[in-house]
């Protein structure tokens, strides 16, 4: 699941435009495990908080971030 989410959103600003519900839906799609919508949204909230409190070593426009 982690790798799938990182591939979809490789840079913190990629998460800023998403709602908790949208990201929760992506988390549910990214895993083979059966998780509840509530659990997926809890994980989404954690990811959004982490993205808000982090910074990247590279700009989102740089090549490495677009892989």
Q: How many domains does the chain have?
A: 1
Residue-averaged pLDDT of the chain: 81
Average pLDDT over residues 53-59: 74
Q: What global pTM score does this model have?
A: 0.71
pLDDT class of 4 with cuts at 50, 70, 90? confident
Q: Which domain holds residue 40?
A: 2-66
Residue with tokens 């908080």: 49
44 or 62, greater pLDDT = 44
């Amino acid at each position: 699941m982690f790798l799938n989410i990182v591939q979809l959103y490789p840079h913190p600003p990629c998460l800023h435009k998403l709602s908790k519900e949208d990201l929760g839906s992506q988390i549910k799609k990214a895993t083979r495990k059966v998780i509840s919508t509530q659990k997926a949204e809890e994980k989404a909230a954690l990811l959004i908080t982490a993205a808000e409190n982090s910074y990247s070593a590279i700009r989102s426009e740089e090549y490495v971030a677009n892989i």
